[in-house]
Amino acid sequence: MNNEIRPLLLLVDDDETFRQVLQRAMQRRGFEVLTAESAEQGMLTAKYNPPEFAVVDLRMPGASGLELVKYLHELDDQTRIVVLTGYASIATAVEAIKLGAVHYLAKPATPDDIIQAFGRTEGSTELDVPDDPMSVERLEWEHIHKVLQEHEGNISATARALKMHRRTLQRKLGKFPVRA
């Protein structure tokens, strides 16, 4: 029997298959892993079992991953939180870091990428700065998400601010992010 103390990792993602695969991978890398399928479930789990590490999906039904990041950081500001998302944007990355995440990764990310992100304590000057500007479609997507963030996720208020029909905005939000 192995009596070593393993660091506690909270994994919150609404994709059951992804959650199970990542859970097994992180257990093989030495973590004790608790899982949740929503931000609300993650908050409840963390309340009774404060984790040392957390991997939080950004976009889930119910509360967003950003709300969970804020909760986890307020619960224990030493928790190493990595936001993992298929909907990466500059606005959500900035907010995640401001709320207490140590890193922000776009899916797909490997378990080793996540572990490396936990260890990051400073920014890097070696990050490649792209030579080409973002495409118009990507700029639009980034701007929409920035305005959505400013309106705390309220679709109607965001649509009014963008002078756009609400259904048009919902259609644009339902798309995956366009390439830069």
pLDDT in tens, 84-97: 987 777 788 888 88
51 and 103 both lie in a single domain? yes
Q: Which domain holds residue 149?
A: 136-174
12 and 68 both lie in a single domain? yes
148 and 112 both lie in a single domain? no
CATH code, 154: 1.10.10.60
The pair of structure tokens assigned to 133 is: 């500007």
CATH code, 104: 3.40.50.2300
* The model's pTM: 0.71
At 120 the pLDDT is 74
- Are the beta carbons of 144 and 158 closer than 8 angstroms? yes
Q: Do the domain assignments include residue 31?
A: yes
The pair of structure tokens assigned to 3 is: 């009596």
- Are the beta carbons of 10 and 42 closer than 8 angstroms? yes
At 152 the pLDDT is 77
At 26 the pLDDT is 96
| More confident call, 80 vs 5 | 80
Alpha helices in the chain (DSSP H): 16-28, 39-48, 65-75, 90-99, 111-119, 136-150, 155-162, 166-174
SS3 79: coil
Q: Does residue 136 have a pLDDT over 60?
A: yes
109 and 61 both lie in a single domain? yes
23 and 101 both lie in a single domain? yes
73 and 162 both lie in a single domain? no
Measured between alpha carbons, how far is 53 from 3 in angstroms, rounded to an integer? 20
**What is the tally of structural domains in the chain?**
2
Q: Do the domain assignments include residue 124?
A: no
Measured between alpha carbons, how far is 89 from 82 in angstroms, rounded to an integer? 15
Residue 1 banded pLDDT, cuts 50, 70, 90: very low
18 and 89 both lie in a single domain? yes
Each residue of 6-60: pLDDT tens digit?
Answer: 999 999 999 899 899 999 999 999 999 999 999 999 999 999 999 999 999 998 8
Residue 134 banded pLDDT, cuts 50, 70, 90: low
- Are the beta carbons of 8 and 52 closer than 8 angstroms? yes
Q: Is 64 exposed, middle or buried (0-12, 13-18, 19+ CB in 10 A)?
A: buried
112 and 79 both lie in a single domain? yes
